[in-house]
Chain A
């Protein structure tokens, strides 16, 4: 028996950003489904072939886009629903997949549930990750790894007053990578090493929800295990370009095993005039490690080195978190919420360092460190509806934080050397906003926030800041238009250093669907950021001295625009065309060093003040209905990445033609 299910594909304007051209958004028409016994089944499978033709820097292409050639199950969707809610083994199955069969981004989401008995959810994901990392270590931290994530969650008796939760999550990262080491002494250069990344994380969850006397108590216990057995090695002699150090061989074994059992308790009640929620979480992080380095080579002054370094120890992080939120509703118009939170973590550990040079032990040092962070925060938020078309929001948030650090080392037989530091800082934040809805389709939101902190932890922390956000949206069934502005200014200038940042974002978008045969979507954002930070560093002018009183300036002006249109040319043919561009115009200069200067400090700092580049991607797609259940699709997407200045004299530009053709079968 076939049932017509009226799904309007374009109920409202859809904003799709820069989606990959495939999988094809299902446009077969109304999903009909097939009835089998007491179940209704819908299914959709898109099988196709992707292609990619890349010219230029393939490494950055893989970092940004990474689609390759081959046959894929581009997307699929399957649902099975019991029509009376009394299926024998299940009442609902939902399965959605993307990219299975070798796309770099694959996922599968599954839900199976039977009313009142169980609810099972599974999420499986794969991410192929590649990054040449030119900007962090001359490309010597390249990564080519694959991360597999899965999460299983089972709730038993989901509609009863006593529910049981079981869960399992797994996260594996594997693959080759490069890393680097600076060795033999603190002034020698660094060497690339090969790393075979092998990391895994497993989490097991067990919990229960208990509904009693109007309260719901949630209890959850987690067992989390982390393991990193990544070996590092260098085969063959290598010199570095900076000095005469030679690394002839290097191996490192570094097994690291961690476990973090945690407990969560939460109590909630939700009544007509009030609501309360209390949460407590305790996580006991533990990590044990041993590191064994073996290296041979020649140091900067020509000595032959034959060295083994053994480091072992453990780290702990007990972490307590508590929250208490009390909500009051003294009328239909007013909501007042007060939330008090605290968190306290103490991270400590010890690390024993043993170094053997040609079998002579030269050091036996125990390093240890403690980082303790305790924060208490209280927030009061108030929302009041003045009338049907205007409401206001106000909030006051206060935080008190204490950070303690102890660092030190001990050489056996000598008194321990410790340094202790403590910082206490306070933050006061006031917020205010209003919402206007003069006519039903139009909403206007304006929010302001001002924050003041007495002592900022880092020079770039939000210290004295204000933020303003304004947004207007006009939305009717066939038209959406919205525009917004957001600014955030931060001034973190203290006695010795200065830092200020100013960000201003301007944005607008529009979607228009006059009928189900045509839709148009456009958006534009300008994201401006300029920062000035005082910096000091050592430089050889003419000998290595401290250079101070300089500014690190960074200016970014990102213009991002998208335009896309869909046409139903006929009952059988759909066309889609889109264009996306993201362009950082920087500070407007034409060359990295616009001024002719022989000052080496200026030559160092000026070229890194801005980094203009563009990333654009036009795309087109055609989808033709072959039969009521089958469509043929084809698409093309072009990517063009262009750096105006290059990084360290290297341009990583590329362009790529990608596309696909597929058959979509659905009912």
Chain B
């Protein structure tokens, strides 16, 4: 089969030996390399040697060949490289990908998580993105508490495979959130240009509305919801809705958000069960076009 494949481009510079030489000693790697996205560099035949095939990532192979192998003779032996060296090497080609523009300041980079912690270039079992494993399993390896959240009774369907972590997060780093104070949460993907990722699917919560429930816009959906998973239905932070509302709407004074949000109406006798179901009347709690109290 190997003979049926195109021959790798010949090296142009003296230190480069070409992928055909690598194939001689590493047939196991070469065997499936045509399925690897990096094979495009060989197939194109137009890339310079420093961006082609094996040497595109590992550097010129002349010294390695002359030494008859050995990791230390490979200019870029990833198992011997630190996070920054790995990142620099990958960013030689991927540094201008729009999805990776924030990788230098991402939490992963700052925590010394190298590209190769998640991507397996030669032994990937996931054909797209060369992930070392299925995406959720990969993330759960470190984010154990998140793994527990997705095992709660009410959760987004990540384990079921219909949603992936990267639908909401950018593991390569994200732009500053356009909600809250621009600091937290980290690594959350913006959707539809510049909005909280929730509205990518929950388009009916996007608005704009004449009467916004301002915390939704200002502080984000996490004010009331736990997005990964919750022990409470509707992914709410509290088992019943009135405590959720009253913890903010607790100020009897006129609105001064330094000291709380205006309290509920004096007609709301909380000992009457109907007033404990705030959203039964305030049905448009995310925002309304017709009523400033979200009643219709």
User: In the bound complex, do residue A135 and residue B233 qualify as a contact, i.e. CB atoms below 8 Å apart?
Assistant: yes
A interface: dominant SS: strand
Contact between A84 and B5, CB atoms less than 8 A apart: yes
Interface centre among B102, B246, B290 (most CB of A within 10 A): B290
What is the size category of the interface that chain A forms with chain B? 35 or more
* B9 CB to nearest A CB, Å: 11
Q: Is A159 at the interface (CB under 8 A from chain B)?
A: yes
> With A and B bound together, what is the CA distance between A277 and B274 in angstroms?
53
A319 vs B246: C-alpha distance when bound (angstroms): 30
Assess whether A216 is interfacial by the CB under 8 Å rule.
Answer: yes
B110 and A455 contact, CB distance less than 8 A: no
Interface status of A381 (Cβ within 8 A of chain B) = yes
- For B242, the closest partner residue in chain A by CB is A608
> Nearest chain B CB to A151's CB is how many angstroms away?
10
B96→A313 contact, CB < 8 A:
no
Q: Give every chain A residue within 8 A of B252 (Cβ-Cβ).
A: 536, 546, 548
Q: Which residues of B contact A473 (CB under 8 A)?
A: 142
A405 to B214, CA, bound (A): 9
9-residue interface stretch from A48-56, A286-294, A566-574, A656-664: A286-294
Dominant SS among interface residues on chain B: loop
B223 within 8 A of A: yes
Q: With an 8 A cutoff between CB atoms, is B78 at the interface?
A: no
User: Which residues from A are CB-within-8-Å of B273?
Assistant: 242, 648
Q: Pick from A99, A201, A421 the residue with the most CB of B within 10 Å.
A: A201
In the complex, per-residue mask of B267-288: 1 if CB is within 8 Å of any chain A CB, else 0: 1111111101101110100000
Nearest-CB residue, chain B, relative to A509? B144
How many whole Å from B136's CB to the nearest CB in chain A?
Answer: 7
The reply to whether the CB of B66 lies closer than 8 angstroms to some CB of chain A is no
Nearest CB on A from B146, distance (A): 9
Chain A residues with CB under 8 Å of B241's CB are: 135-137
Q: Check A105/B183 contact, CB under 8 A, given A81-B34, A190-B280, A383-B110.
A: no
Residues of A within 8 A of B210 (CB): 313-315, 348-351, 367-369
Please measure, in the bound complex, the distance between the C-alpha atom of A554 and the C-alpha atom of B246, giving whole angstroms.
13
A383 near B109 with CB under 8 A, answer: yes
Cβ B140 vs Cβ A613 within 8 A: no
Number of chain B interface residues as a range: 35 or more
Give which listed residue, A266, A333, A538, contacts B269 with CB less than 8 A: A538
Query: Nearest Cβ in chain B — how far from A14, in angstroms?
Result: 5
Q: How far is the CB of B198 from chain A (nearest CB, A)?
A: 13
Determine how close the nearest CB of chain A comes to the CB of B124; give it in whole angstroms: 10
Of B16-24, B69-77, B153-161, the one contacting chain A is B153-161
How distant is the Cα of A660 from the Cα of B270 in the complex, in angstroms?
Answer: 48
Is A597 in the interface zone, CB < 8 Å from B?
Answer: no
Bound-complex Cα distance A189 to B95 (A): 59
The residues of A that contact B209 with a CB separation of less than 8 Å are: 287, 315, 347, 349
Q: State whether A325 and B105 are in contact (beta carbons under 8 Å apart), knowing that A17-B159, A180-B283, A608-B238 are contacts in the complex.
A: yes
Give chain B residues whose Cβ lies under 8 Å from the Cβ of A266.
98, 101
Which of B40, B136, B242, B259 is the one whose CB lies under 8 Å from A495?
B259
In the complex, the chain A residue whose C-beta lies closest to that of B267 is A187
- Nearest-neighbour CB distance to chain B for A526, whole angstroms, equals 9
The 0/1 profile, CB within 8 Å of B marked 1, for residues 614-639 of chain A is: 01000000000000000000000000
B145–A484 touching, CB < 8 Å: yes
Q: Can you list 29 A-B pairs, Cβ within 8 angstroms, ordered by A?
A: A6-B31, A40-B35, A85-B42, A135-B233, A137-B280, A141-B283, A159-B44, A171-B201, A241-B274, A242-B273, A262-B194, A268-B96, A285-B207, A315-B209, A317-B208, A321-B175, A347-B209, A369-B211, A383-B110, A395-B110, A401-B182, A445-B111, A460-B247, A497-B260, A505-B145, A533-B247, A533-B250, A548-B252, A582-B151
Known: A116-B40, A228-B204, A381-B105. 4 other contacts (CB 8 A): A99-B162, A443-B112, A548-B252, A556-B231
Chain B residues packing against A (C-beta within 8 Å): 1, 4-6, 28, 31-32, 34-35, 39-40, 42-44, 82-85, 91, 95-96, 98, 101-102, 104-105, 109-112, 120, 123, 125, 127-128, 132-133, 136-137, 140-142, 144-145, 147-154, 157, 159-163, 175-176, 178, 180-184, 192-195, 201, 203-204, 206-212, 214-215, 217-219, 223, 231-234, 236, 238-243, 246-248, 250-253, 255-261, 263-274, 276-277, 279-281, 283, 289-290, 292, 295-296
